[in-house]
Amino acid sequence: MTHNPRTIGIAAGRIAPGELADNFSDLHPPLDWHEARVQADRCYFCHDAPCMEACPTSIDIPLFIRQIATDTPEAAAKTIFDQNILGGMCARVCPTETLCEEACVREAAEGKPVRIGELQRYATDRLMAKDVHPYTRAAVTGKRVAVVGAGPAGLSCAHRLAMKGHDVVVYDARPKPGGLNEYGIAAYKSTDDFAQAEVDWLLKIGGITIETGKKLGEGLSLDALTADYDAVFLAIGLGGVNALSAEGNDRAGVEDAISFIADLRQATDLTSLPVGRNVVVIGGGMTAVDAAVQSKLLGAESVTIAYRRGADRMGASKFEQDLAASHGVRILFNVMPVAVHGNGAATEIELEYTEDRDGRLTGTGETFRLAADQVFRAIGQTLTDAPEGIEIVGGKIAVNGAGRTSLAGVWAGGDCAQGGEDLTVTAVAEGRDAAEDIHATLMGG
């Protein structure tokens, strides 16, 4: 029997549908009323709350937890949404274990923080379930703003601008809005099509129009936008994926982890999604963990994450690393790819041990091979199709203040912009703050 080199070792339907459904169920099932009250009662309601300082959107965490403790979860949700309109998704995907929960006084005293992220989900889910948007628009200003990119930064900016009374048109290259919340998050972190439900809920503020299939540089020009609108906010993300600097990078079976996660998120039937028997993921961030764990959940027999530095330098949190290990994913530290071997399609990957020499990462010359019919690249993304006329620094759009670019009337935020961490919650904060600055500028402030 002959095999297509593009499909050998990679197949769909390795696991029965029922088991797949269980595998991709909610990572953190929602708290019930009693569980939420127990967790809320654990909070010390600190006056100078370190958890609040650790939150990129500065949510008043002690206040919203007190509101849950007094059985007013809708009020708690309003406290959250005032700072983070995508608080529902952030409650699901935020690395709370390295942000608010790591700063929790209970964590320092007992090693067991208040489960802030799950309490945030408890509150936001309850308000969103009421199908009533908690905000109304201010009087219409007559100003029009274009937002390019319907990810967390773009949506956050659009909502705040609409609330201020401006009319907003959001353009996005993909068929659906949501950005990485829709296409780049592990399926077990955002179940039941929550990303789209959240977008639909956000749009109830009114004054926001979304146009999909519109990409900057392809029928959508920055010059035309600045001419047609009073302000422009760029939230275009990072469209490119870094290639492996290794021989065989172009072999069949070597793929982008981001594309794999996007395909999985959009699949209507997980039994039709192919996965290798022996999967190796190159990288050390949350994307690498998401790709590795989901490969295992789809039925891969062996999954390995290969990271070039030590565990203390890994971008994925300790929680994410432990999550991977609990699903049978092996993590190799201080190794880097040298070559992907195979006759047309990948069959093995050759890795070299690394070490730090005088602060520089270098190979030791000692190599070994692993079976690998599928290799995922999760080694960072790059800005593609950078708008002309805007200053780029370090591969990202240069910004100052609340997202002001070098071009008057144009702001930027999220992954495409310089500074900050590549987190949903950070993108939300940048979109919100840029919207406030755009509003002040448009109104003569």
The dotted CATH code for 33-129 is: 1.10.1060.10
Amino acid at 16: A
| Burial classification of residue 175, based on how many CB atoms lie within 10 Å of its CB (0-12 exposed, 13-18 middle, 19 or more buried) | exposed
Residue 303 near residue 328, CB atoms below 8 Å: yes
pTM exceeds cut of 0.85: yes
What are the domain boundaries of the chain?
Answer: 33-129, 144-239+383-442, 241-377
Same fold, 33-129 and 241-377: no
> What pLDDT tens digit does each residue of the chain (445 aa) get?
333 444 458 999 999 999 999 999 999 999 999 999 999 999 999 989 999 999 999 999 999 999 999 999 999 999 999 999 999 999 999 999 999 999 999 999 999 999 999 999 999 999 999 978 999 999 999 999 999 999 999 999 999 999 999 999 999 999 999 999 999 999 999 999 999 999 999 999 999 999 999 999 888 999 999 999 999 999 999 988 888 889 999 999 999 999 999 999 999 999 999 999 999 999 999 999 999 999 999 999 999 999 999 999 999 999 999 999 999 999 999 999 999 999 989 999 999 999 988 889 999 999 999 999 999 999 988 998 788 889 999 999 999 989 999 999 999 999 999 986 779 999 999 999 999 999 999 999 6
Residue 379 near residue 238, CB atoms below 8 Å: no
Q: Which of 132, 384, 108, 122 is nearest to 242 (CA)?
A: 384
Amino acid at 211: E
Residue 349 near residue 340, CB atoms below 8 Å: yes
| Exposed e or buried b per residue across 197-209, where buried means at least 16 C-beta atoms within 10 angstroms of its C-beta | ebbebbbebebbe
Q: Which of 61, 70, 75 is nearest to 119 (CA)?
A: 61
294 contact partners, CB below 8 Å, separation of at least 6: 24, 186, 187, 188, 260, 261, 264
The dotted CATH code for 144-239+383-442 is: 3.50.50.60
Q: How many CB atoms lie within 10 A of CB 356?
A: 12
Write the class of the CATH domain 241-377: alpha beta
Residue 98 near residue 89, CB atoms below 8 Å: no
